A and B are shown apart, each in its own frame.
Chain A
């Protein structure tokens, strides 16, 4: 069965960076894109960007451009999201999600979420 398993919770100081991993299993990693979505407390989910599992192409929301780096390691079936220059407003649960179909696909499987807390 398809599973996405994320790395554990992080506490960071303002200005630092955080890198979250998302290990996929149960399907061919290179066949689907992985998206990153974050959700601040009590807020709607917010899309951050995506990486093509096959060719590694990425696209991120303009809101995060310059601060977010999406990478993947196909040998480990793992995607990574690094967010830099953290501020308190970045405190949220970060999710990875698989795109279920190429082009316009929904997020059919999600990781369990990684809580990132930014606090001095």
Chain B
């Protein structure tokens, strides 16, 4: 199974801050890396697929990059609605696996 790790596990930031979350796969997954946002009591929502493709309707302040084993999600200017938990997920091979999540809260 491909193991996914994320760092940091949590962070505190202010509105307007630039935030970077990293995700690492235990083996190469090419670009088959997706990012989701989850708010309490809600289902995850797709932000970015294939490492860097922004989902329709997602604000352009969300950016994804990377390939192989190392990936990054950047929020260029944090907005109040962005406080949530972010998960990476590999869709390279079964079993599909998620990272442990990064909780972004208000400083």
Contacts and interface: CB of A to CB of B under 8 A. Distances in A.
Interface of A: 35, 44-47, 59, 61-63, 95, 97, 100, 104-108, 110-113
B46 A62 contact: no
A112 B43 CA distance: 6
Interface stretch (B14-22, B66-74, B88-96): B88-96
**Contact residues on B (Cβ < 8 Å of other chain), bracket:** 20 to 34
Interface of B: 32, 34, 36, 43-46, 49-50, 55, 87, 89, 91-92, 94-101
Contacts of B101: 44
A35 B89 CA distance: 13
A97 B44 CA distance: 10
B87 A45 contact: yes
Contact of A100 (B49, B87, B96): B49
